[in-house]
Amino acid sequence: MPAPAASPARARLPLAVYILGLSVFALGTSEFMLSGILQPLARDLGVSIPQAGLLISAFAIGMVVGAPVLAAATLRLPRRTTLIALLAIFGLGQVAGALAPSYAVLFASRVISALACAGFWAVGAAVAVSLVPVNARARAMAVMVGGLSIANIAGVPAGALLGQHAGWRAAFWAVAVLSVVGLVGVVTLVPHTEVPTGEDRPQLRRELTIYKDKQVWLALIATAMNGAAVFALFSYLSPLLTDTAGLAESWVPTVLALFGVGALIGTFIGGRIADAHLFGTLFGGIAASTAVLTLLALTAHSPVAAVALSLMLGVTAFTTAPALNARMFNVANAAPTLAGATTTAAFNIGNTVGPWLGGLTISAGWGYPSVAWTGAALAAVAVLTTALAFRLHRTSARSRVVASSAPAADSATDAAATLHSPESANRH
């Protein structure tokens, strides 16, 4: 009889999972740093703030397209090799952005970088999940999401400081250097994998069957709406702080860092509780984000409220992130690479829709507080979608996702033994 699986509280995650989180730090810094340099970038390129905000949407669009396309295209390639190639392309995209002579070239470089970023996240998430037992998936995903959180704490504020004192292009050069560091880590520490063969060989047609499941689509919608809610506000947080709350532009890096601190706290909380209370984490986190965004819309003219609620939004938004990732892997367990790609696409559909809708409200003359109202409405949709998924989970045997995602003892033991067997390692 196989040995019992280690409990999530005591099990040590493989070093490779942390290396993937480090790489995500570089990706996340590039994805989010524009929120801190929108104003100098817009001034330099001669475009409006909403136009500059579309560069955030451009990155998100690239992520939406890139995640499923690259996941399918690389399905039968060694995952480590795929990660190395994608991270190299991403770094070159940062160099292209730093040298961009015009808005159009910068836009194109953001899309290319996003394609590589999407592929890396999708494949990297599948690798991280494959290296741990099923009852530690949320913890592994919390490490990767933690890379985004630390990017918000350190990378985004640093990018804002560079943008203010050394020009916005310096921020792109800095991310290019971070990409090299991540590349070295992946080359040296992520396990080598063989191309799957025989019955274990991935088949795109078979993996695509996950999209016949209603729970997959509900998970996708909830993830997209949650992301849209946050980025409707976050993309325009800098001008909201300066033009509405009346803070000096020098305060922007500090507030962005506070958002990142909140994100790290939220990721830690979500990673600790999501494996045992998946739906509870989803309901609590998304509902709390709805409340925070509503309060921010009502109190945006108060500097104290704007700063405090920015911190709180980081906590509530990122508490749900490990749960959203783990849930998608649960409902699409038969297709882990496409599950990672679908989650990435869903997050970035939200990251595209949110800034776009926020820009529309600003262009309509409703002021920067309108982006908080937009975010609250989108978060409310995510709450309703999660409620529908929970109801389906309670009544449908076909898409049975365990509300407490830690499985029963026997299934946990079998899953852990399977995941850590040599045969399983060769599949990934």
pLDDT, one tens digit per residue, over 115-125 is: 888 888 878 87
The pLDDT of residue 375: 92
> How far is residue 179's CA from residue 143's CA, in Å, rounded to a whole number?
18
CA nearest to 224, candidates 124, 100, 336, 320? 320
Contacts for 422 with CB less than 8 Å, ≥ 6 apart: none
pTM of the model: 0.65
**Would you kindly state where each structural domain of the chain is located, as residue ranges?**
15-427
CA nearest to 201, candidates 417, 422, 415, 426? 426
Only one residue has tokens 């905000």, namely 53
pLDDT, one tens digit per residue, over 163-196 is: 777 888 888 898 898 888 888 888 887 777 665 5
Q: If you average pLDDT over every residue of the chain, what do you get?
A: 77
For residue 378, pLDDT over 90 is answered with: yes
Q: Are 75 and 337 within 8 A, CB to CB?
A: yes
pLDDT, one tens digit per residue, over 239-289 is: 888 888 888 877 887 887 788 788 888 888 887 777 677 788 888 889 999
> How far is residue 177's CA from residue 181's CA, in Å, rounded to a whole number?
7
CA nearest to 280, candidates 269, 291, 293? 269
The CATH code belonging to domain 15-427 is 1.20.1250.20
For residue 229, pLDDT over 80 is answered with: yes
- Cα 338 vs. chain centroid, distance in angstroms? 15
Region 2-20: mean pLDDT is 62
Q: Are 105 and 96 within 8 A, CB to CB?
A: yes
Which two tokens mark 168? 């916005």
For residue 83, pLDDT over 50 is answered with: yes
The pLDDT of residue 196: 56
Using pLDDT thresholds of 50, 70 and 90, give the confidence band for residue 1: very low
The pLDDT of residue 292: 93
Q: Are 362 and 50 within 8 A, CB to CB?
A: yes
From residue 337, alpha-carbon distances to 9, 90, 179, 283 in Å are 26, 20, 23, 26
